Structure 1
């Protein structure tokens, strides 16, 4: 299999930042859910590109959300950029992801910046036990950028700022792990499009996207839902 997207952009990382591939690029497709803006999905539920690591043993924080762990979704954002360039989908105005510990949102924000995309991250907070506001997300993203530079990447981008990402909490409900009526409805609607979600993370993300799209709070342009529910048969 070819090198990671990060290694292709920064060959100097090939030896200083090992990469383990778990599978091929995850698929993208449009969801027919009657939304005002086109709604697409990148389905990471069946694995995707693996991740970056250091020597074992290695301390794994909550959700894998540290500067190394977030690199997985830097790779994911660069993979998305390649799919956009190939014509697999239009460039989204926003990518919507559930946020449980912050690593996915931080990695996406950094990866989109590296790729030069205008797509913005909309993080739907599903965990009330961790600090997950915009300053926390971009701080993690910038620490991941520091890791890349420390490994030799010639990374010429400005630091991310809190206004580069949007974090919303309106779909959290009573707290982490609590099912909400909106999430149940979103899960049911997703199933009509052949998409399997769950109500702790991904269905809350879709619920936010559907509601904000209906109220025209997201402006115009395609939306992309990141489905992180997996692995599963």
Structure 2
């Protein structure tokens, strides 16, 4: 896999027109992109199909979280859409996660999409975890436990911050994927995310893929911003084995 295929551009946009405008500015035909709820719920499954037709790899970031039966049927349908990577919330529990993988397998025509579990959103900090979500354990302990459950449930990896990647791999497997959002170039603001890292930090910490949104899509020159992310990522000496 080429290094640039480890960088997933977050298309947190509202319309296909805006999406294709940004992709043209980035000028990386066939790169990995993330389609989230904002774009998917307004444009539907066709947006994924059009991206695939254009040669792009697609992470469909819908973070399913429901009863096992519902998630199983939803994943069976999503498998037919053609995304390369999908996810669920680990907080849905092991039965739900197993049902997600089974649904993807049943619905896939060719290769089953990569299935990830979201441990905790990168907008969550310890205060929110304790005072709003009423989870009275350290953030790292919660995240690694969710990672273990995802691994035991047959998922391919997790969505976590870069700062938790190495710990999750240590209690699961070196080949268990760590897909890390909250990536910012050093000069960029963190925005609404708390547990952020630079591309170089993420790779040294064990990330297999990084998800980069505003640092690229909101840049004055998105193509140059992508190149800068790629350069920072490539400078790291972390060895990826996948």
Q: Which TM bucket (shorter chain)?
A: 0.3 to 0.5
Higher helix share: 2
Query: TM-score, normalising length from structure 2?
Result: 0.34
